[in-house]
Amino acid sequence: MTRFPILLLDYDGTLAETQPAILRSLKEAFDAVGVSAPTSDALKQELTRGGTLQTLFQGIVPESDEQDAAAFVRHYRAFYPTADEEETVLFDGVVDTLAALKEQGTILTILSNKHAPTVCASIARFGLTPFFSGVVASEPHFPHKPDPRVMDERIVPLFPKQPRSDFLMVGDTVADLQFARNAGIASCWASYGHGSATQCAALDPDLRIRSFSDLPAALRN
C-alpha cells in the first residue's frame, strides 16, 4: 500500500492539456461580452493561478461587478464544450498510470476548480470515469481551491475516517499546492502543467513529477 492511499487529482494541466481549449473559449467569451481579450501570454499568466472563471475575469476587468462576471462565465461555458472536444488531449501515460494506481488499491478522486458538469463531461469523453471514486469540482456556493474549507466541507465527508496524512494533492498550480498547505495535507507538483515554476517551487511541495507517468515511482520513494 502506498503511503498516500488517497490521491486528489487536479484535471486541467495535470491529467489533460486543456490550455488550447481554455484560451480559445476565453477569447470567444471576452468578445461576446464586448471586452477586448488580453493577449494569449497574459491569459496564460492568469491561468497559472489556477483560480475560477469568475476570479480570472474580475482580475482582468477589475471594474466589473458580479453580473458582468456571471455573463462572461455563461458565454465561456457555452463555447467551451466544442473547444474541449476539438482541442483537449490527455497527457501521455495518463490512462495507463491511472489504471496502475487503481490496481494497487489507491483511491483516486478529482479535485478541480473547473465547472463540475464540464469536468465530468470531459472525463467521460476520455473514458476516465471508472477510475475515480468521486469528482469534486466548482459548483455554486461552494468554496474552491486554495480555500481549506474545500477539505473540510467537500473532501472529509467523502472519507470521514481517513487521517489527513492519507491524502496527497496532485496538481500543477499554486492553487493546488497552497490548498494542500492550507488543508494540512501533502502535495505533489505536476511541473509539466500550467503553473508558474517560481511560485510553485516556492511552496516547497512534498513531491514533484515531470510527467504524470512519474507518479507511481514518486509515491514509492
Q: What is the pLDDT of residues 155-176, one digit of tens each?
A: 999 999 999 999 999 999 999 9
Query: Which residues, 6+ apart, have CB-to-CB distance to 28 below 8 Å?
Result: 75, 76, 79, 83
Q: What is the pLDDT of residues 65-116, one digit of tens each?
A: 989 999 999 999 999 999 999 999 999 999 999 999 999 999 999 999 999 9
Kindly state the DSSP code that residue 7 receives in the 8-state scheme: E
pLDDT, residue 28, reads 97
Element spanning 138, H or E: strand 134-138
6-17+89-220: CATH class:
alpha beta
Beta pairing partners, 111: 136
* pLDDT above 90: residue 200: yes
Q: Helix 40-47 crosses helix 53-60 at what angle (to 10 degrees)?
A: 130
Categorize the per-residue pLDDT at 51 as very low, low, confident or very high, splitting at 50, 70 and 90. confident
Residue ranges per domain, the chain? 6-17+89-220, 19-87
Q: Residue 1 above 60 pLDDT? A: no
Q: What is the structure's pLDDT at 172?
A: 97
**Which band of pLDDT confidence, cut at 50, 70 and 90, is reported for residue 3?**
confident
Tell me the residue type at 154.
R
Does domain 19-87 correspond to CATH entry 1.20.120?
Answer: no
Say if pTM beats, i.e. exceeds, 0.85.
yes
